Structure 1
């Protein structure tokens, strides 16, 4: 892992959050945070840890068709170390995916490309699960009538736009008739280009074989309806537990908001994670606080405090746990095996 890059990114992330809190009002926000009820915060932390466990269970389930996949303690340490990379690196959802796949492959007898397909599929399930939960929350919110029509329509527009993006991603990534053909074409060109260079060993077939394994694993996952149903259920359940820390965090501040509203705000706030900072820091806090102000009429300082508590009991708690595991793995070492040892 690029430790300097990760540390620099975290420093910037904390600075951005600090600027946001300063803009709202340091004294007011910190006063709310200090006055938060400990029992409610404990409930938020437990729910957040449950979400982390379910995210791991999702990857473990998708690993089922892979021969020699990591299991038991080996899987737990590799997954948490990869989750730490996902949390610590900028654009962690993209940069953390290959790191987690590498760690799962390194500590097992499975191939890198198989684990990469599994982790990518898990990210896809999590994205779809977030949109499904947001849709459920919007439907309940609209039926109960706790929000204005404009709020519901605006939330539907955001969720609908995210749904279109998700559908496009699924068509590109999982449709083997398009993605596989394009990937094979690019890999073949790379192999030809490298083979034409003097004094370099031929890599003919190596990239294309890796790509074949990647799409083969996706096909194996798609072929099992039971795996798809269970994985989808785990993804939605993990997002329910991801939303509960926000609900309990607001209760800790003395703010009682409809649970349906929390089911909408938590998933939609995740789109703030597109900012190139670890864990989407700054973007998620701003989006979440803005949603709470716009939909529930929560005062800006209270909404900001709620967003901070939510992130402390989810992102930062996960960061601390996975970081501790990553440090232990780094100190005590793991079974050495690099992708190049497997033929790449």
Structure 2
């Protein structure tokens, strides 16, 4: 069993441990009781909303691939995006760990260069930050206005919103402003590592520094092509915003299923803030995201108990985590089989 598999197993073990501690803290019996009393009709609606969310973000990928000259059917892009979400959900460090695999899946489905697939998924993930910032600011504004005082958890939420609204855009701008310097640094860093890899792995010739530089330039050219295409940006932002609205609606409906109708502003705040926890070294941020969501829900909706919040979050995450994971696993397996068959035929 290789190191990557052990890392994945360790990640899932850590996620289950964090979830177990969360449920134990809020109360196992009361959480299970709330889950068992959930409205079946509302649960079905949650699954439907999760499907619309996945479709919306899959269409965002479709719009980006079209701009890059990779014409794929919309349904194919949706399925491939599900496979990309699957790679994020089973890889430690979430998106940071799953992006390379996602790029490989996209390039296989779209029959494009790897750099094109990487630019596509990186662009979609970057665009997703914009609507999340807007929703988080609106949600925090209304929640803070109705709060008697800003407790510790709301202060944490304020800091998280500030990071989303200021830190990430500044980091993105600086990265793009100094992209050529970044390109040179990446070439200097990875060329020795790739050469070492080529010496260790038999029958593999390591690429030269010129080849690595050409591939990185291809990646930045694809990013630039998307960034300067206003129509594509507007389409992608629209699909992304719809997806975020569905995520918020999924959590709201999950709360409704366990008997609690909360202010819409609450879910508009906690969903984007909770997504920040996906950066922790756990598959898809599992465990960390649930903990942040439950903590913020209880602190922003005083009548809401911990077990009720935990049960709703588990329903929400079951739909938005398991659905793309199950669908994406099938798509990823099919793409892997096609790639192996193509390699065997060469």
Q: TM tier, shorter chain?
A: 0.7 to 0.9
Q: Which residue is 2:202 aligned to?
A: none
Q: Residue 304 in 1 paired to residue 306 in 2?
A: no
1:197-216 alignment to 2 at 5 Å?
203-216=208-221
- For 2:191 and 2:334, locate their aligned partners in 1 and report how far apart those are by CA, in whole Å: 39
- For 1:47 and 1:66, locate their aligned partners in 2 and report how far apart those are by CA, in whole Å: 29
- For 1:92 and 1:189, locate their aligned partners in 2 and report how far apart those are by CA, in whole Å: 23
1:184–1:211 Cα contact (<8 Å) kept = no
Give the C-alpha shift of residue 195 in structure 1.
Answer: 8.1
Q: Which residue is 1:27 aligned to?
A: 29
Give the C-alpha shift of residue 224 in structure 1.
Answer: 1.1
1:47–1:241 Cα contact (<8 Å) kept = yes
Tell me the TM-score normalized by structure 1: 0.87
* Greater displacement, 111-120 / 64-73: 64-73
- For 1:7 and 1:193, locate their aligned partners in 2 and report how far apart those are by CA, in whole Å: 26
CA distance 1:270–1:195, change in 2 (3 Å): closer
Alignment partner of 2:168 out of 161, 166, 169: 166
- For 2:291 and 2:267, locate their aligned partners in 1 and report how far apart those are by CA, in whole Å: 15
CA distance 1:294–1:191, change in 2 (3 Å): closer
CA distance 1:42–1:203, change in 2 (3 Å): same
CA distance 1:25–1:168, change in 2 (3 Å): same
Q: Residue 287 in 1 paired to residue 298 in 2?
A: no
2:94–2:280 Cα contact (<8 Å) kept = no
Q: Residue 232 in 1 paired to residue 237 in 2?
A: yes
- For 1:324 and 1:194, locate their aligned partners in 2 and report how far apart those are by CA, in whole Å: 31
Q: Which residue is 1:318 aligned to?
A: 324
Give the C-alpha shift of residue 168 in structure 1.
Answer: 2.6
Q: Extract structure 1 runs of 4+ deviating beyond 6 A.
A: 192-196, 198-202
Give the C-alpha shift of residue 271 in structure 1.
Answer: 1.7
- For 2:9 and 2:183, locate their aligned partners in 1 and report how far apart those are by CA, in whole Å: 34
- For 1:202 and 1:21, locate their aligned partners in 2 and report how far apart those are by CA, in whole Å: 50
Q: Which residue is 2:182 aligned to?
A: 182
* Greater displacement, 85-94 / 59-68: 59-68
2:251–2:267 Cα contact (<8 Å) kept = yes
- For 1:162 and 1:212, locate their aligned partners in 2 and report how far apart those are by CA, in whole Å: 28
2:119–2:223 Cα contact (<8 Å) kept = yes
* Cα RMSD after superposing both structures: 2.9
CA distance 1:336–1:106, change in 2 (3 Å): farther
1:88–1:279 Cα contact (<8 Å) kept = yes
Alignment partner of 2:283 out of 273, 278, 282: 278
- For 2:30 and 2:100, locate their aligned partners in 1 and report how far apart those are by CA, in whole Å: 41
For structure 2, the residue ranges without an aligned partner over 5 or more in a row are: 200-204
- For 1:192 and 1:6, locate their aligned partners in 2 and report how far apart those are by CA, in whole Å: 27
Deviations 1:92-127 (A, max 9, x none): 211111111111112333211122111111111112
Give the C-alpha shift of residue 337 in structure 1.
Answer: 6.3
Give the C-alpha shift of residue 66 in structure 1.
Answer: 1.8
* Greater displacement, 80-89 / 212-221: 80-89
For structure 1, the residue ranges without an aligned partner over 5 or more in a row are: none
Secondary structure of residue in 2 paired with 1:150: coil
CA distance 1:161–1:258, change in 2 (3 Å): same
- For 2:193 and 2:322, locate their aligned partners in 1 and report how far apart those are by CA, in whole Å: 44
